[in-house]
Homo-oligomer: A and B are copies of this chain.
Amino acid sequence: MSSFDDVQNRFGAADQGSLRRTNLALVLGRLRDQGPRSRARLATELGITRSGVSSLVGELVERGLVRTGVVERGAVGRPGTSVRLDGRSVCGIGAEINVHHVATMAMDLSGNVVAEHRLTLDGNRHEASEVVDRLVELVSRTEDDVAAHGAAPVGLTVGVAGLVDSTRDMLTLGPNLEWREVPVGAMIRDRLQPDYPVVIDNEGNLAAIAETLPGDPGRRDILVIFGEVGLGGGIVADGRLLRGRQGYAGEFGHMIVDPQGRRCGCGRIGCWETVAGLRALLDAAADTDDAVRDPALGLQARLAELNRRADLGDTRTLAALDQVGGWIGVGAAMLTNALNPAAIVLSGYFAEVGHHMRGSIEARLEAGVLAPHAGGTVVELSTLGFTAAVRGGATLALESVFADPTRVERLVPVAQGESR
Binding site for B on A (CB under 8 A): 1, 9, 11-16, 18-19, 22-23, 26, 46-48, 52, 163, 172-173, 175, 221, 235, 237-238, 240, 242-257, 266, 268, 330, 333-335, 337-342, 367-372, 375-377
Residue of B11, B237, B257, B334 touching A1 (CB-CB under 8 A):
B11
Contact A48 B13 (CB under 8 A): yes
- B26, B46, B337, B341: the one contacting A255 at CB < 8 Å is B337
Pairs A–B under 8 Å by Cβ, sample size 17: A1-B11, A9-B9, A9-B22, A13-B46, A14-B22, A163-B370, A173-B371, A175-B370, A244-B339, A244-B341, A245-B377, A246-B371, A251-B370, A251-B371, A255-B337, A268-B368, A268-B370
Known contacts A266-B370, A268-B367, A371-B251: A244-B23 contact under CB 8 Å? no
What is the CA–CA distance of A257 and B16 in the complex, to the nearest angstrom? 53
A245 to B47, CA, bound (A): 26
CB-based closest 7 A-B pairs: A244-B340, A248-B340, A254-B370, A245-B342, A255-B334, A14-B22, A249-B340
Known: A244-B342, A256-B333. 18 other contacts (CB 8 A): A1-B11, A9-B9, A13-B26, A14-B26, A15-B19, A237-B242, A237-B244, A238-B242, A246-B371, A246-B376, A247-B340, A248-B375, A249-B338, A254-B337, A255-B333, A256-B330, A256-B368, A335-B338
- Contact between B375 and A334 (Cβ–Cβ < 8 Å)? no
Q: A371 — nearest CB in chain B belongs to which residue? A: B248
With a CB–CB cut-off of 8 A, which chain B residues contact A340?
A: 243-249, 251
A369-B244 contact, Cβ under 8 Å, with A13-B26, A13-B47, A23-B14: no
**Please, which residues of chain B bring their CB within 8 A of the CB of A15?**
19
A170 → chain B, closest Cβ, in Å? 12
Closest-by-CB residue of B relative to A258 is B259
- Nearest Cβ on chain B to A251's Cβ, whole angstroms: 5
The answer on a CB contact under 8 Å between A334 and B334 is yes
Return chain B residues, CB-CB under 8 Å to A253.
370
Distance of A23 from chain B, by nearest CB (Å): 6
On chain B, the residues within 8 Å of A13 by CB distance are 22-23, 26, 46-48, 52
Q: By the criterion CB–CB under 8 Å, are A334 and B256 in contact?
A: yes
Among residues of B, the one whose C-beta sits closest to the C-beta of A234 is: B338
Interface contact B375-A337, CB-CB below 8 Å: no
B residues near A244, Cβ cutoff 8 Å: 221, 237, 339-342, 375
Which residue of B172, B250, B251, B372 contacts A172 across the interface (Cβ within 8 Å)? Answer: B372
